Amino acid sequence: MSTTEFDVCVVGSGAGGGTLAWALAEAGVNVVVLEKGPYYTLKDFAYHDEIKIQKRSFFTPLEADEPRMLRQAGEEEYKRTRTAWLANCVGGGTVHMSGYFLRLHEIDFEMRTRYGREPLSTVEDWPLSYAEFAPWYDRMEYLLGVGGTAGQNPFDAPRSVPYPLPPIAEHPFTAPFDKAAKKMGLHPFSTPRAILSQPYGGRPPCMYCGYCGNFGCEIGAKSSVLSAFIPRAEATGKCTIKPKSMVTEVFVDADGKAGGVRYLDEQGNLHEQRAKVVVVSATALESARLLLNSKSALFPDGLANSSGQVGKNLIFSTFASIEADFSRTGRAKDFPGYDSHLPFLGRSLQDYYLPKKETGVPKGGTLLFDLGPKAPITRLTEVAIKAAGATETKPLWGKPLKDNLRKYLRDVRKLECEVFGEFSASSACYLDVDPEVKDKFGLPVARLNVGLLESNVKGARFLADRAADLFREMKAEEVRFGIMGGASWVLQHGTCRFGKDPSTSVLDPNCRAHDVKNLYVVDGSFMPTSGGVPTTLTIMSNALRVAHHIRDAFAKKEH
């Protein structure tokens, strides 16, 4: 079944696709967006049902329906998993993001030039500089109303404009945190966030419920694509959103150009959507899977894959987590505002972003501190299992369990640190499609081979130790290490990286496929390096940059 041809067909409506669709629609380009998931509205987020939102399939599919196959370093067999899905809904992963919006640094664009390649590394420089990219950061921060304090972080990348809004209100614990950090010679700063601290662009400010990460925002104060761009895109009359549309293939015409896509609707009926330009933005994992599954006589190894690079150079963000407990009867009794209901500590450190010769760590990253999230079921389950003397097979029970619940609900404030470090592209980390396992749509599933370079693991552990040092300086009663040198699965990049050399990249510097001149990819796939920050701001800023290129190409009648 064929449908009307559009100027541009966008596959996926998240950070890349949704942003690009709005920018093109604003420019008068006729766009259709095919989104696999549902079209939620703000009222769908009004209930903070932890089981429904985080444990079931509200945002991400169940393993039984859409598995991934995963093999990590040292393992021989692939295992079925639900790992590494982002929200399947209009707005994508931006709907349940925490909204930490930090920029990459100049060094992140030049990693191969500055460091070369260690064994197994496949790292490449970006085909453009930070200076060339920075104006798109400026523009995106103002479009979304990012809150922060320019100049507070002495290690920040250069910027020419201030943040459009001040930071969101921070918990009084920032005072003892800052005091301890400065005593150690560190430079704490307010974490820039895409959560409105004041009314902005017709949207209300944060109401400080604390349900940001893993949840949608019921008032639209979090600057997700769903809140900030989709309504504006549809208001132009140039953007059509088709939810619950699972794209199964990007097809090509006889001349090798993308003719459009084929997709299944909610009832399982197959449709064909033609377009002059196809933009794939289904996350770095799903975009690569879609291209690899889009085989034809012209592209027998998958679309845009003459280099064999689709799915290669998969990178996440190197991750570590640290927790610290502060009791109202212990050190925290001297802290101001112990019972404050403000949910955000809102502090970060980048003192260790650049390498330090004395440590032997080649590349650092960001330490991002906040209060423990409001997820009581998860939190109390962890208490029951992780408390002293408990195991997963023999959890606490009776009075010992009740005592621990009282302690963690009433007497302890938990501070957390997340480490975001370099995850280098290497031959040990890549994606292909499974020859046997298929999802509920009958499509071969993504098969992940995940391995980190030892330098990346070492860097993450170094940063985690520095966070622990700070918690100890604050006189925490207990400091716990969680993940040490793992992957942040929701930050996905690299499977279709851009570059000037078609033999080592899938896309050109404008994120257009080297092999298919009317095919673009604008999710995190394009990124050659991960940097040491959460990368949603970078993906959205790049999508805006690519949209301007496509708009100009239409104006010149190149598409």
Per-residue DSSP letter, 170: -
Distance in angstroms (rounded) separating the CA atoms of residues 485 and 554: 45
Q: For residue 207, what are its two tokens?
A: 């109401």
Phi and psi for 265 in degrees, rounded to 5?
A: -85, -175
Q: What 8-state DSSP symbol labels residue 374?
A: S
Q: Which residues contact 119 (CB under 8 A, 6 or more apart)?
A: none
pLDDT tens-digit map of 456-470? 998 999 999 999 999
pLDDT at 464: 94
3-class DSSP state for residue 99? coil
269 vs 244: CA distance, rounded Å: 11
- AA identity, residue 70: L
**Helices and strands counted in the chain (H then E):** 12, 17
387 has pLDDT over 70: no
Whether the predicted pLDDT of 402 surpasses 60 = yes
Residue 80: strand pairing partners: 69
**Among residues 268, 272, 277, 175, which one has the least CA distance to residue 516?**
277
Cα radius of gyration rounded to whole Å, the chain: 23
Tell me the CA distances in angstroms from 542 to 48, 90, 165, 247, one per residue in order. 32, 19, 22, 23
Q: Is 170 or 47 the better-scoring residue by pLDDT?
A: 170
Task: Kindly give, in sequence order, each residue whose CB lies less than 8 Å from that of residue 74, ignoring residues fewer than 6 positions away.
Answer: none
Question: Does the structure show a pLDDT above 90 at 513?
Answer: yes
72-104 pLDDT tens trace: 988 999 999 999 999 999 999 999 999 999 999
Which residues are CB-contacts of 502 (< 8 A; sequence separation ≥ 6)?
306, 307, 514, 515
How confident is the model over 264-290, as pLDDT tens digits?
A: 999 999 999 999 999 999 999 999 999
Q: How many residues does the chain have?
A: 559
Helix (H, G, I), strand (E, B) or coil at 132: helix
Residues 6+ away with beta carbon under 8 Å from 88: 36, 37, 59, 60, 61
Q: What distance in Å separates the CA atoms of residue 382 and residue 343, rounded to the nearest whole number?
A: 20
What is the average pLDDT across 236-252? 98
Q: Is residue 1 over pLDDT 70?
A: no
* Closest residue by Cα to residue 507 from 127, 110, 120: 127
Tell which CATH architecture fits domain 6-555: 3-Layer(bba) Sandwich (3.50)
Average pLDDT over residues 515-530: 98
Question: What is the pTM for the complete model shown?
Answer: 0.96
- DSSP E strands, 451-528: 478-487, 519-521
Per-domain residue ranges for the chain?
A: 6-555
